[in-house]
Structure 1
Amino acid sequence: MKKIAVFTSGGDSPGMNACIRSVVRTGIFHGLEVYGIYHGYEGMIEGDIKRMYSHSVSNIVQRGGTILKSARSTEFRTPEGRKKAYDNLKALGIEGLVAIGGDGTFTGAKVFYEEYGIPTVGCPGTIDNDIYGTDYTIGFDTAVNTALEAIDKIRDTAAAHDRIFFVEVMGRDAGFIAVESGIGGGAEFVMVPETETKIDQVVKSLKNLRKTKSSSIIVVAEGHSLGSAEEIMKLVKEQIKDPSKEFKVTTLGHIQRGGKPTARDRVLASRCGMAAVEGLLQGKTNCMAGVMKMEVVYTPFADCIGKPKPLIADHIKLIDILSI
């Protein structure tokens, strides 16, 4: 293998640039030519591909977002689009790919490999932490810390005014950000998609807490079955019916996807980037390089996409214990 290319796809996450940097410099260390594909699969189709050098990735390890940009590509979902992408890679002599992204990215990579056989190793880049085959994903730790900082500030105003705040965090269909930011922020209640929560439970908890606490924080994961934090707040308010209590909602949104990556995310991204390149050189393909129990592991894309990643049971227990 002489030439490889790296690209980012799907939602951006803090640490992607650190991963790109690691891929480029690991490739150069092993004597490879490394190319960057801009705007993900769309750039692969359009031929937006450029040679990268060591200086191409200088001064980016601390930056959020992705210097290679990201985009959704409907054309890549078609056989014609994938054929264009393959022809562009073949014209440049690219023999291997490093795909940084989440399950959508890996789904595309899996189909592409099955059709054209270009070896691909992925790196788990998503704040949601919902990818099977790695303990943590690139960007998750930064997103949790961003949410935690916001919750700490909301706690101050909640306590000052004796208010009940519903704080909505991202995570798509997974509650990892909600759970960790909830534990770290001392939330009185955390609502996640993985567990069934009834409004009666929230109301009962808040009524019990009123005996010892004048304010409360309820963290809501965006994918909860009962709806958004705003919708859940309205349902709770209808049952409590206390004019002396103020209910407020804060939706953190995309601030969780930006910002400087934490040290933990930078190190994880760098390890995954190096492992992806070295995996390609070892003949690995159609898999993701992740870190489990501090060790690099390679997991088939089919498992990354198809197997659910459960929340840590002790974390759920902790929330119940620490909120009393």
Structure 2
Amino acid sequence: MAAHRNHRKPRQRPFTGQAGRTAATLALAGAATVTAAGPAHTEPRLTPAQIKAKVDALYTQAEAATEQYNGTKVKADEARASLTVLRDEAIRRTDRLNASRDELGSIATAQYRSGGLDPAVQLALSSRPEEYLERAGLAERAGSRQAAAVAGIRRELSVVAGLRSRADTQLTDLTASRAELARHKSTIQRKIASAQRLLDRLSAEQRGRYDAQDGGYAARADRGTPRGAVRAPNARAEAAVAFAYGAIGKPYVWGATGPGSFDCSGLTQAAWRAAGVALSRTTYTQINAGRRVTRSELTPGDLVFFYSGISHVGIYVGGGQMIHAPRPGTAVRLAPVDEMPFAGAARPV
């Protein structure tokens, strides 16, 4: 009888040392591969109310970035204008300097050609000493003029060097402002794109409700105090209010100052410009225009500001209402002042 053989599986020994470390590494890599190949992470489902809250927050951030962009653009424009003036002045001064140098060179060349003899010898050899003495006096005066010309050239060189140094500084400022503009522009576009992606997640019915809710403030304002029921305190304020009413329906475009589109501070600046008053470009500088007024003191034409960062502005028209350019995707419209968190008001003068 054949001997019974016990066929057992060989006992597996755990890896140790370098082999163990290698096996562990391979196991982790395999696990990572399985995880990566698994189902993609999906964004959490948001209710329409949550989407609206996020969209509103993104638009508020975009508007704050827009006001920073506007302020930086003012600095860039000023630096560019100053650089142009400095460069033009440097060119004029350089032309004048070159003309002085040419004149001085002509004088020096003439002296070299006629020089060489000691003045006393020239006097002794002259057949007409009186004429020589007269010419010598003229030459002395010419020498004085030459010395003055040299001093003038030195002064001009110093001025030109100073102009070029200031132009270099302005160019540095302009380059920095352009880089800052690009950063703000990127932030604005990123925030607006994120808001649009959120809105795209709404169904057609939900988007319709969102748009109706978003426009509800304007509808409520339209049922409020009729236009002209509250008189402006003076002709300039009246002109600013009239301009704002005329802008209703024109689209919001960030960075725009009219006449076809506006952002919030661009609208208020244009309205008061039509009244003959120059306002600065941004919300956080416009709030210092004229004098501050309280909410209870508001009269038509006053500038009303919102949010803690003073990132939004409208123009008060009476009856608790304002005209403002709200945000991307909307148009200039009438709205209640209590639509947003009130931050202050100013009365241009």
Fold shared by both chains (TM-score > 0.5): no
Q: TM-score, normalised by structure 2?
A: 0.21
Select the structure of larger CA radius of gyration.
2
Q: TM-score, normalised by structure 1?
A: 0.23
Q: Which has the higher strand share?
A: 1
